[in-house]
A = this chain, B = another copy of it.
Amino acid sequence: MAKDKGPRRPRAETPKGFRDYFGAEVSERKAMLDTIAEVYHRYGFDPLETSAVETVEALGKFLPDVDRPNEGVFAWQDEDQDWLALRYDLTAPLARVAAQYRNDLPTPYRRYAMGPVWRNEKPGPGRFRQFYQCDADTVGSGSVAADAEICAMLADALEEVGIPRGDYVVRVNNRKVLNGVLQAIFGYLEGNEDAQLGAAHDTATKRDAVLRTIDKFDKVGESGVRELLGKGRLDASGAYIDGVGLDEGQTDRVIAFLTSRGATTFDTLANLRGAVGDSHIGAEGVSELEQIAALLDAQGYGPDRIVIDPSVVRGLGYYTGPVYEAELTFEILDEKGRKRQFGSVAGGGRYDDLVKRFTGQSVPATGVSIGVDRLLAALRAKGRVQGDGRGPVVVTVMDRDRMADYQAMATDLRRAGIRAEVYLGNPKNFGNQLKYADKRNSPVAIIQGGDEAARGVVQVKDLYLGAKIAAEASHEEWRAQPAQTEVARADLVAEVRRILGQG
């Protein structure tokens, strides 16, 4: 027989893959994003806040990164049977806005957006289904000055949030240069009316294989790429990976492209010109990089901050022109205690057809996305987070009937701009009040019993110093309690200021 059960209590849990952010976690991220927003604003970018919910139709399957081609969205049907979904990035909503308001927005339209996005994918360690993105895009400008501007803005943003010059580099590449290299190898596919269809198909397949191989450059290095482009390669697990089957001359061109970074921008551009041969699109790509370098140079951004670097391959498959990536070059220890470079914290580039899905008209665009959690982790690693993690001054309650006096103390402190509160739990156990102050990371506790009230004084306890003494001092020193001073009630604010270093 079924046993009669009472109603089950709901579980107090976030859904799988979601999390909450408390106190300093919230304020540190906010301080970082506020600083970035200030930089973006100074560059003429306007904030845009789209709704979290889009029609699935408007969202499409449009992800700005080849690494994640078909991630799921959280979707549901509304009462009209239309499918709605949570945005999975900030680029798809920008595309919708650029199309919806195309007659009202300025052209070009510079906008930044910051906010959560949602991905319906398997959660894992450090991998959440809701996370922040921070994007800046220029829609409607085909000029490489737009790309150069975003690189400069990115460098400024990194420095202003607290990454010192020398600890980061923005690396710039161009998809057109790669296209030129491919043309130099395979000849022109487009517009080549004479090409036999079969041969063209074969070449297209090989081009894709070359692109996939280039993407592995970061992992397998020059020799690995050389093997994979040629006859093939034994991978780490002992399996044999078939090669693309390029001849040595073709392989040399790809390698020349990937390793073309020279000692100076001038050298790099010369190497690239060699790699693209007589390809028209390749020459255009090199010329664009040259213009970007010249624009940045005129603005004072030398190769110590922004550098032309053809080894940037991430995103090359997706973007159509300039591609850029910000890398943090200082070292951190990984989980296994080994030193490694912190790595990439932002990336972007030029992409076409942002709006074309909606209107049929091509609109050029370029933009960058900062990895909010990555950059915040970097700032924490460098001890450069902004935001005050300090708790409030806690006015303790010795005498429940004199709550108004205690509140007046907190009010005086707040009027002086000092974060302060009265303990509002059960005041019976004084130890609990100090434990509470400890949990809040409070710098100071205020104490006033009946005796002190009668004498018009308060005890001011320096909790940070107190903790230090408790950890380091002998029993005798501890009992002397130098971390606690008695001052006149009228001097309360001044004494707290002194302890907080605001004296």
Mask: chain A, 358-379; 1 = CB below 8 Å from B; 0 = not: 1110000000000000000000
Query: Which of A15, A19, A57 has its CB near the most chain B CB atoms (within 10 A)?
Result: A15
Q: In the complex, what residues of B have CB within 8 A of residue A294's CB? A: 404
Q: In the complex, what residues of B have CB within 8 A of residue A41's CB? A: 27, 419
Chain B nearest Cβ from A258, distance in angstroms:
29
A48 and B74 contact, CB distance less than 8 A = no
Chain B nearest Cβ from A199, distance in angstroms:
30
Give Cα A357 to B7, complex, Å. 11
B425 and A12 contact, CB distance less than 8 A = no
Find A20's partner among B13, B48, B146, B425 (CB 8 Å cutoff).
B48
Find A76's partner among B12, B76, B148 (CB 8 Å cutoff).
B76
Q: In the complex, what residues of B have CB within 8 A of residue A99's CB? A: 12
Does residue A88 face the partner (Cβ distance < 8 Å to B)? no
Does residue A420 face the partner (Cβ distance < 8 Å to B)? yes
Stretch at the interface among A269-277, A343-351, A407-415: A407-415
Mask: chain A, 430-447; 1 = CB below 8 Å from B; 0 = not: 000000100110000000
Q: In the complex, what residues of B have CB within 8 A of residue A130's CB? A: 51-53
Give Cα A46 to B13, complex, Å. 21
B13 and A424 contact, CB distance less than 8 A = no
Chain B nearest Cβ from A441, distance in angstroms:
10
Mask: chain A, 91-105; 1 = CB below 8 Å from B; 0 = not: 000001101110000
Does residue A205 face the partner (Cβ distance < 8 Å to B)? no
Q: How many copies does the complex hold?
A: 2
Q: In the complex, what residues of B have CB within 8 A of residue A76's CB? A: 74-76
Give Cα A129 to B20, complex, Å. 23
Find A407's partner among B107, B295, B419 (CB 8 Å cutoff).
B295
Known: A12-B58, A99-B12, A411-B300. A404 touches B48 (CB 8 A): no
Interface residues of A in 14-39 (CB under 8 A from B): 14-16, 18-23, 25-27, 30
Known: A14-B100, A106-B436. A149 touches B58 (CB 8 A): no
Does residue A138 face the partner (Cβ distance < 8 Å to B)? yes
A107 and B436 contact, CB distance less than 8 A = yes
Does residue A329 face the partner (Cβ distance < 8 Å to B)? no
Give Cα A407 to B10, complex, Å. 59
Chain B nearest Cβ from A147, distance in angstroms:
10
B141 and A425 contact, CB distance less than 8 A = yes
Does residue A470 face the partner (Cβ distance < 8 Å to B)? no
Does residue A60 face the partner (Cβ distance < 8 Å to B)? yes
A11 and B55 contact, CB distance less than 8 A = yes
Give Cα A357 to B22, complex, Å. 22
How many residues does chain A have at the interface if contact means C-beta atoms less than 8 Å apart?
Answer: 98
Give Cα A310 to B440, complex, Å. 36
Q: In the complex, what residues of B have CB within 8 A of residue A57's CB? A: 10-11
B149 and A424 contact, CB distance less than 8 A = yes
Interface residues of A in 417-433 (CB under 8 A from B): 417-422, 424-425
Does residue A392 face the partner (Cβ distance < 8 Å to B)? yes
B42 and A20 contact, CB distance less than 8 A = no
Does residue A298 face the partner (Cβ distance < 8 Å to B)? yes
Chain B nearest Cβ from A308, distance in angstroms:
16
Does residue A299 face the partner (Cβ distance < 8 Å to B)? yes
Chain B nearest Cβ from A408, distance in angstroms:
5
Chain B nearest Cβ from A193, distance in angstroms:
25
B19 and A47 contact, CB distance less than 8 A = no
Give Cα A125 to B43, complex, Å. 35
Does residue A232 face the partner (Cβ distance < 8 Å to B)? no
Does residue A135 face the partner (Cβ distance < 8 Å to B)? no
Q: In the complex, what residues of B have CB within 8 A of residue A449's CB? A: none
Q: In the complex, what residues of B have CB within 8 A of residue A298's CB? A: 404-405, 407-408
Give Cα A107 to B429, complex, Å. 13
Chain B nearest Cβ from A46, distance in angstroms:
4
B149 and A358 contact, CB distance less than 8 A = no
Known: A57-B10, A403-B145. A78 touches B116 (CB 8 A): no
Does residue A54 face the partner (Cβ distance < 8 Å to B)? yes
B15 and A118 contact, CB distance less than 8 A = no
B295 and A404 contact, CB distance less than 8 A = yes
- Name the residue of chain B whose CB is nearest to the CB of A355: B12
Does residue A175 face the partner (Cβ distance < 8 Å to B)? no
B357 and A44 contact, CB distance less than 8 A = no
Listed by A's residue number, 10 A-B pairs whose Cβ atoms lie within 8 Å are A10-B357, A16-B80, A21-B50, A23-B48, A42-B419, A44-B440, A106-B436, A106-B440, A107-B436, A110-B421
Q: When A and B form their complex, which 9 residue pairs have the shortest distance between CB atoms, in order from nearest?
A: A44-B421, A12-B99, A298-B404, A44-B392, A18-B51, A76-B76, A26-B47, A141-B424, A12-B100
Beyond A51-B130, A74-B84, list 5 extra A-B contacts (CB 8 Å).
A10-B57, A21-B48, A43-B420, A44-B394, A299-B408
